[in-house]
Amino acid sequence: MLLHYIDLSWRSLKRTPLVSFLMILAIAVGIGITMTSLSVYHMMSMDPIPQKSTKLFAVQLNTTDDGTNWWTQDNVPLQLTYKDAMTLHKAEMPTRKTASMRAGFTVHLNNQDLKPFLSDARLIGRDFFPMFDRDFVYGSAWTTEQENVSAPVVVINEELNDRLFGGSNSVGKQVYLDDNVFTVVGVMKQWDSHTKYYDLNNGAFDSPEPMFLPITLVAPMQIESWGNNNGWKHEAISTFEGQLQSEIFWLQFWAELNSPAEVQNYRDYLQAYLEKQGQLGRYNRTVPEFNLKNVIEWMEYNNVVTSDNKVLLGLSFLFLAVCLANILGLLLGKFLRRAPEIGVRRALGASKRQIFVQHLVEVSLLGFLGGLLGIAIAQLGLWGVRTTSNEYNALATMDLSMLLAAPTIAISACIIAGLYPAWLVCRTQPAIYLKTQ
Amino acid sequence: MLSMKNISKVYQTEKVQTHALRDFDLEVQEGEFIAVTGPSGSGKTTFLNIAGMLEPFTGGDYMLDDVNVGSLSDNQRADLRNQKIGFIFQGFNLIPDLNLYENIEVPLRYRGIKSAERKRRIEQCLEKVGLASRAKHLPQQLSGGQQQRVAIARALAGEPRFLLADEPTGNLDSLMARQVMELLEEINREGSTIIMVTHDQELARRAPRNIQVVDGQLADFTLYQNKTMDAVASQANHPAIEV
């Protein structure tokens, strides 16, 4: 019977092509706008590493004096000082942890074939790769030994490997970063994360960096940060060494904690560490403050999805509701004009339920067609979003779940809009129309 | 087979109460061909609609094949209507978007009959009304008489116990009307019970049993047999409306 209803629905759409087109267009525009907002929202709020998001923790230490105001909701700085980050980085616990810092270099191969270019880079510990589930096309991460001795080694991503070495196995090859020679030890698979959750302080939606170097190179090579540096008191800093010893916050720190016991142990460790730092007179703070936030908590804490995004999403659904109100009016007109035919069908034995279902199938078909056209409009909208900034390249896209959601939302919305007209028409008293047809 | 006792139908508006049927009693036996006549507004169509369960009645008892119609829900009435009753309307009431085959198929689909059986019945019915070669035609491609034959085929396809015909020849010229009447007589000879509402006295006289509805009640036929319908209508004390 369902196929028969679909056939009847298709004939009905063809019978009134203009009204049908207007309804499909109204749904499509509503769905297109809604799906554009919803897709961006979905990408922004999506768990970027679902298999580990509850095991990776961003570390925050409040090493400011009591009374120092910060812009975070609990007054705790987002980043760490170099000396704290490196102390935690070198600590024995937990098993996997990494300091992290944004930097950048001029990249070249010291030949005429490639013009030097600027590129972002990230300085990290070798644990970063297994912590964030990074796989390699060629080679691997640098060794512990190389990290300990600050060896000039680098891991590059596939895209950079294509640019520098034509996509070949470049392990062992050399690349120049600010005229220092680095040896490629690994080529990492392309990382298309839509949210750069491991460093939300320096562009939450920027693409992951194409180069990764040992964090231990910062001091010997005097590598400057390309990220945000946050100071909270006056310090007379005139040398790079002075900057390393300062109270400026400019590094991020992540720890992998695989059980509640590990979390508690690490909390105890951080508590003890901060108490010790207070006793050393680094800051005037009565109660040590620190945070351990997993990936999802970290994204919420950093307002990755802003209230503006939520308002925009709400408005787009409101727009869809307006479209549906128009469709409801058109459906009412269309269905009630068909009352004489319904009278005949009722006389021939159709139950109210059968008439009701027939009309819901028709509105579902409208929703399905509107949903398909809506996907095309949403793609256009997302393309428009992407053209405004490279930051939206990974965000303004529709993944499979959104592609499936579009017709589902369209069909559901149309069924809601069609309930009243379908209910009205199924209550048709057949006797009224049989004599007058 | 069909039994109505003290059936009444009242149309109620805010200010007016109109009695379309009152104390209506009728017994119909299997295989009968009954012509229902009466002046305009006497309640003939209301009777037919109630008999066909197209509208509810206000009071009384209505038994159809030992089923108490008054106790049925709307969906149960739809099922019973689909299984037991075939309708033939004055205006044919074919669905314009569906070809003849599909029009005849409508009640069979609602009954849940399988495709092969539907096909067999439809072809048989189209053959019976002489339109087998036009199965794929749309209703508007046929003459009025042909459309009414399709409507009869549609009514027959469900193999109903009753055929209810409301002015089946009302929109046809006399030649086509005679042809349709002959078809109905043939169907009746084959065993179907037919109740036909008509204004046409000549057609009514061809039916073995005639009943007259006057003022919402069954009238004594002998009282009116020598009077015109208009005269009967003018004697009515309580004008009823025909809906």
Residues of chain A with C-beta less than 8 angstroms from the C-beta of B52: 347
Under an 8 A CB cutoff, do A437 and B91 touch? yes
Side-chain half-sphere exposure of B22, counting CA atoms within 13 A: 15
Q: Are B1 and B63 in contact (CB under 8 A)?
A: no
pLDDT of residue A385: 85
Distance CA A226, CA A241 (A): 17
Does residue B79 contact residue A351 with C-beta atoms inside 8 Å? yes
- Compute the nearest-CA separation of B178 from chain A (Å): 22
A132 and A228 fall within a common domain: yes
pLDDT by 10s per residue, chain B, length 243 = 889 999 999 988 888 888 889 989 999 998 999 999 988 888 888 999 999 998 889 999 999 988 999 999 988 888 898 888 998 888 888 998 899 999 999 999 998 899 999 999 999 999 988 898 999 999 999 988 899 889 989 988 888 888 999 888 887 888 888 888 888 898 898 888 999 998 888 888 889 899 999 988 887 554 444 444 444 444 444 343 333
Closest-CA residue of A relative to B90 is A435
In this structure, the answer to whether residues A13 and A86 fall within a common structural domain is no
Confidence of residue A422 (pLDDT cuts 50, 70, 90): very high
Domains of chain B as residue ranges with CATH: 2-235 (3.40.50.300)
Q: Do A434 and B75 touch (CB under 8 A)?
A: no
Element (H, E) at B127: helix B115-128
Statement to judge: residues A219 and A146 lie in one domain: yes
Segment A172-183 mean pLDDT: 95
The answer to whether the Cβ–Cβ distance between B87 and A348 falls below 8 Å is: yes
B240 to chain A, closest Cα gap in Å: 16
Which of A344, A352, A436 has its CB closest to that of B74?
Answer: A352
pLDDT at A96: 96
pLDDT > 70 fraction of chain A, expressed in percent and rounded? 99
| Overall number of domains in chain A | 2
To probe the interface with A, which of B46, B54, B90, B163 has the most A CB atoms within 10 Å? B54
In a domain, A266, yes or no: no
Query: What residues have CB less than 8 Å from B202, skipping those under 6 apart?
Result: none
Does A335 score more than 80 pLDDT? yes
Give the Å distances, CA to CA, from B22 to B17, B46, B125, B240.
13, 11, 38, 10
- A14 and A82: one domain? no
Decide if A278 is inside a domain. Answer: no
Position A334: which residue type?
Answer: K
B52, B56, B60, B61: CA torsion to nearest 10: 50
Among candidates A373, A398, A396, A369, which has minimal Cα distance to A383? Answer: A396
Asked if A79 and A192 sit in the same domain, the reply is yes
- B12 pairs with which residues across the strands? B17
A256, A291, A322 — which closes off a domain? A256
Give the chain B residue nearest A4 (alpha carbons): B109
| pTM: predicted TM-score of the whole model, two decimal places | 0.70
Residue A295 lies in a domain: no
**DSSP symbol at A143:** P
- Determine phi and psi for B219, rounding to 5 degrees: -95, 160
**B124: alpha, beta or left? (left if phi > 0; alpha if psi -120 to 50):** alpha
Residues A84 and A222 grouped into a single domain: yes
Task: Give yes or no: residues A362 and A332 share one domain.
Answer: yes
pLDDT per residue as tens digits for the range A69-102? 888 989 999 999 999 999 999 999 899 999 999 9
Asked if B90 and A346 come within 8 Å (Cβ–Cβ), the reply is no
Same domain for A31 and A97, yes or no, is no
pLDDT tens string B93-124: 899 889 999 999 999 999 889 999 999 999 99
A353 and A416 in a single domain? The answer is yes
Residue A212 has pLDDT above 80, yes or no: yes
Q: What is the mean pLDDT of chain A?
A: 91
> Is residue A7 domain-shared with residue A95, that is, in the same domain?
no
Q: Confirm whether A269 is domain-assigned.
A: no
A236-276 residue pLDDT tens: 889 999 999 999 999 999 999 999 999 999 999 999 999 99
Which letter does DSSP use for residue A229 in this model? -
Burial B103-118 (b: 16+ CB within 10 A, else e): bbbbbbbbbebeeeeb
* Domain boundary residue, one of A256, A287, A316: A256
Query: Which of A239, A256, A273 marks a domain boundary?
Result: A256
A396 and A417, same domain (yes or no) = yes
For residue A274, being part of any structural domain is answered with no
- Check if B118 contacts A (Cβ < 8 Å): no
Q: Is some CB atom of chain A closer than 8 A to the CB atom of B102? A: no
Same-domain pairing of A429 and A383: yes
For residue A13, being part of any structural domain is answered with: yes
Which DSSP string do the residues of A296-335 spell out, in sequence order?
A: HHHHHHTTSS-HHHHHHHHHHHHHHHHHHHHHHHHHHHHH
Inter-chain touch A348–B74, beta carbons under 8 Å: no
Nearest CA in chain A to B115: A1
Residues of A within 8 A of B111 (CB-CB) are 349
Token output for B44: 């003939």
Residues of the domain holding A389: 2-47+306-434
Q: Is residue A158 part of a domain?
A: yes
